[in-house]
Every structure is written in C-alpha cells, then in structure tokens.
C-alpha cells in the first residue's frame, strides 16, 4: 500500500467517526436524565435539592428538644457590688479564679466604686428558687434576675456554700418555668450535654459538647479548713465568663450540673469546662432551703489517691482506691474501726477510685447518716458501717445561727453587722457562760473569740475544730475582743 492510499483511508476513517458521533448525539439528546436504582434506594447527585423538613435527626444527636425545654428556666443574674474594690465594669466573676492562676488581667488596678458582675442561674422550682454559683453573688449588695421572657426580679440570698461554690436565691413569683434535676451519677463519659447560660451578656446561649470526665478535681476552690469538695463533671461544651451558675443538661432536658469554671490560659474558653454534679447541687440546695446552712457530713479521715508509687512504698496490692493517711480521734471513721493504711474502694456500695469521688459520695449525706465503707486491709476486703458526724464533731444538724455549747459556753457566729462595726473578719461570740472552763478562765459574756493558739477563728465551726484537735490537759491561748472594742487575752486549760 502506497502512501497516497494510506492517507485516503485515514481521512475516510476520521470522517466516518465524526458522522457516528453526530448521529449518536441526535439520538440521545432529548432523553431525560435517569436515576439509577440500587435496590430500593435511589442514588442522586450531591446537589439534589432535598427538603430539610423531611430529614430525621438521630435521637442521640437531636439537641432541639432539650434546648427548647431548658432555655426558659435559665436566668441572667446581675450582681451589684458597692464599697469594695472590684474589677472594671463588665468583668466576670470568673476573674477571681483567673487571677489566682494566670495573674490579674487588670494589672492589679481596681476601682473603689460600685460595679457589676454578671452570671447565670437555674430556676429549680416554680415558686422562685434559683440555683447559681456562690462566686456570682458573693458580697453582692443587690441581685437582679432577668428571665428569658424579659421579666425582672430582685432576688434574696437564701444561703451559700463556698465549699462547693453554690448558692440558693429566691424571687417572689409563682408559676415559673423550671428545670427538672436529673441524676448525675447516671451521666456517662461520652454522653452529649448542653450548656445554657449568658456568656459575654449574650442571653440564652446554648452550646453542645460531651462529658469528657467525671470526678475531676482542679484545685480551684479554697477553704480554710480544707473542706472544699471538687468532683466536677468535665465537658467540652463551650463555656465563657457569664456562664457561671448556668445549666448543664442532658438531651432529656434534665439538669446534670451547674457550670462553674473553665480551664484557660486566656480567660475565655479554651476547650474544657467544669460543672458541679446535680446530685451534689440537689443536696446542698435542700440543706440551704431547710436549714440555712449546709449539713456537712464527714468520715473524719485524711486521704490521698492510690497510685503505683504509693502502692510500692506501702506494699499495697491495689493500684486504685483511696488511701487513708490518718484517722481523726472520735470521728465516724474511728468509731467504725477504719485504720491508717486502709484503702477505701467503695462508699455506700458505689465504687470510688479517687479522693474526689469519695468526698462527693460522703457529702451527699447528712450528719447522723450511716454509710457502708468497703476497704482493703492486709490484702483482704471488708465492709464496715460508719456513722457520719458534722464539723462540730456531733451527729446533730445545725441551724443557720450555728449556736453551740462548748464546756459551759454557748457560742454563735459573729453577725456581719458586728464584724463591720468592730473591723473583724469572722469570729465566735460567747452568748452565755455557765459553770465550766470559760467561767473558770474569767471570760465574760459578749467576748468574741478571734484566735485560738494563733489560729484564726472565723466561726463556731472553726472554734470547735480548734478545740477538738487539742489534747486534753494542754493550755490554750484565747485571743479576742469585747463588743466595746476592748481586746483581751486568756489562758485556758483544755
């Protein structure tokens, strides 16, 4: 075949291909687009226009019901502070915590004028009881509550508990929307939760996250007698200044925690937030409502977490639990036979693996309650029953007046008015003197105890603890003043 013939055949083949292509195009150009069937499910292009109202969200990811249910029950709290150095206007009550860990964002400058702090609260009953954080309203001279429907009320403080950073407020109204309190013990790590509050003055803000951890101790609360309880629920739901006191709820719209703190190097949300679990909230608020003060129940032990190092040092055959460092004399633990070196693994039949969990389980009780404590001693497991006592070393409940009789002297907490008048921070006032050590020492009625052996006394509880820790027969130096401002010092045999 010569080159001419080859060229002619190539041209003919090309023309034939073109005619075939054009003919095929005309044959199919008017056919509709086909939907390919795969079984019974149609396969569509990704840009197909779906009706969003027909979409069904899986039950475990549907936040709409919980958000609608709880938002009306979360309030905005505005606290006014007068006559004290406060951070600049518009700052958050979270600042007091941020300054402890990350320095003062205001450069140490404060203003000696009225200022306002903002936070959130949760309506827990239709008759106007509201839960919030103590640090939201602490030292406030006026508290205003703004509801989701824009109604505004003045609130009164029913009671506070700095050891859990909780407070109970009351507004005079009925028929309010409230949030049902759930069981925080049933909350599981990985469970979806919503945080509802008023961050940065953005009212009724809802954010979502999961429970990241339970029983978390972040060492943010401070208590002179080391009675603080930190067993927080940790979550990655976004929480910022202004969320304090707001609700952490599950997808059923039940309160599982009160949002309290955030872990942050900046003062704003950085990934993790912390909430007081609802079971502890419920117990504390019930106490404040009924007695005016929290009925703290104690085992009377010093404890630490078990770890591999401690297990090796002490010859323990367990790697988790709560190690008993010391047992206080005449405490509930002492009466039950708990000993130094025991490892507590359960309280009330519920497993505990760290100190925060044990403290929470015990704190859910009142003085006089009996709890079963399961422990390991010398490699053997045993269960004992302990009767819990209060901070005064008795099994009775205390009233908000916190009166107590000690060795013939009846004491009460020094009122706020007298504290301001005398320039004192706390104190225990002697109301009545009968036969006993106080009369023998020459101490008269009206005397205010401010120190025992140089240990500051802020309340009757402090006085009781200072005296019960003193060995019999030793001498004590009692410092204080009378109501006319006269300072006095007494030596008393104890």
Q: Residue 77 and residue 103: Cα distance in Å, rounded?
A: 26
Beta-bridge partners for 347 = 350, 373
Please give the structure tokens belonging to residue 45.
């292009």
Q: Residue 347 and residue 338: Cα distance in Å, rounded?
A: 13
Q: Residue 270 and residue 212: Cα distance in Å, rounded?
A: 14
- CA pseudo-torsion sign 475, 477, 482, 486: positive
**Which are the catalytic amino acids?**
135, 165, 244
Instruction: Give the 3-state secondary structure of residue 357.
Output: helix
Which H helix or E strand runs over 145?
Answer: strand 142-146
**CA within 13 Å, CB half, 155:** 33
Using alpha carbons, select from 139, 167, 21 the residue that is nearest to residue 81: 139
Per DSSP, 32 falls in state P
DSSP 56-120: ---GGG--HHHHHHHGGGEEEEEEEE-SS-BPSTT--TTHHHHHHHH--TTTT--BSS-EEEEEE
Which H helix or E strand runs over 6?
Answer: helix 3-28
Nearest 5 degrees, angle CA 356-CA 361-CA 366? 125
Please give the structure tokens belonging to residue 53.
């109202």
Q: Residue 183 and residue 281: Cα distance in Å, rounded?
A: 11
Nearest 5 degrees, angle CA 148-CA 149-CA 155? 65
Please give the structure tokens belonging to residue 205.
């803000």
Decide the pairing of beta strands 272-277 and 232-235. Answer: antiparallel
């Amino acid at each position: 075949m010569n080159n001419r013939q080859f060229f002619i055949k190539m041209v003919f083949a090309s023309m034939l291909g073109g005619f075939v292509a054009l003919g095929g195009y005309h044959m199919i150009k008017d056919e509709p687009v086909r939907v390919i069937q795969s079984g019974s499910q149609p396969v569509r292009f990704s840009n197909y226009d779906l009706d969003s109202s027909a979409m069904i969200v899986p039950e475990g990811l549907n936040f709409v019901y919980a958000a609608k249910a709880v938002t009306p029950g979360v309030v905005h709290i505005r606290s006014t502070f007068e006559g004290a150095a406060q951070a600049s206007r518009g700052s958050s009550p979270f600042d007091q915590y941020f300054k402890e860990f990350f320095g003062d964002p205001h450069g140490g400058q404060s203003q000696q004028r009225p200022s306002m702090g903002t936070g959130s609260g949760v309506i827990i009953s239709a008759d106007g009881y509201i839960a919030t954080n103590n640090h939201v309203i602490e030292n406030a001279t006026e508290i205003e509550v703004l509801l989701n429907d824009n109604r505004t009320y003045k609130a009164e403080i029913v009671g506070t508990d700095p050891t859990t950073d909780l407070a109970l407020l009351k507004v005079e109204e009925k028929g309010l929307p409230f949030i049902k309190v759930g069981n925080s013990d049933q909350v599981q790590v990985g469970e979806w939760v919503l945080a509802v509050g008023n961050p940065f003055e953005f009212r009724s803000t809802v954010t979502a996250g999961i429970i990241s951890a339970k029983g978390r101790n972040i060492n943010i609360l401070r208590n002179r007698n080391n009675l603080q309880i930190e067993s927080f629920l940790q979550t990655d739901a976004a929480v910022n200044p202004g969320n304090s006191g707001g609700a952490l709820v599950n997808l059923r719209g039940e309160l599982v925690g009160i949002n309290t703190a955030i872990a942050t190097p900046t003062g704003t949300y950085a990934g993790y937030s912390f909430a007081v679990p609802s079971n502890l909230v419920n117990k504390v608020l019930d106490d404040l409502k009924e007695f005016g003060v929290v009925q703290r129940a104690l085992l009377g032990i010093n404890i630490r977490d078990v770890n591999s190092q401690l297990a090796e040092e002490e010859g323990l055959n367990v790697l988790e639990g709560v190690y008993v460092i010391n047992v206080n004399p005449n405490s509930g633990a002492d009466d039950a036979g708990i000993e130094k070196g025991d490892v507590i693994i359960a309280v009330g039949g519920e497993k505990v693996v760290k100190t925060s969990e044990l403290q929470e389980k015990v704190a859910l009780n009142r003085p006089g309650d009996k709890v079963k404590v399961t422990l390991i001693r010398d490699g053997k497991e045993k269960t004992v029953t302990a009767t819990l006592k209060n901070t005064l070393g008795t099994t009775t409940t205390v009233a908000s007046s916190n009166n107590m009789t000690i060795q013939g002297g009846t004491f009460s907490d020094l009122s706020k008015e007298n504290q301001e008048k005398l320039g004192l921070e706390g104190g225990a006032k002697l109301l009545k003197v009968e036969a006993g050590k106080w009369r023998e020492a020459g101490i008269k009625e009206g005397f205010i105890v401010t120190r025992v052996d140089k240990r500051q006394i802020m309340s009757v509880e402090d006085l009781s603890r200072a005296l019960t820790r003193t060995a019999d027969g030793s001498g004590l130096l009692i410092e204080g003043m009378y109501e006319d401002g006269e300072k006095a010092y007494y030596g008393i045999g104890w």
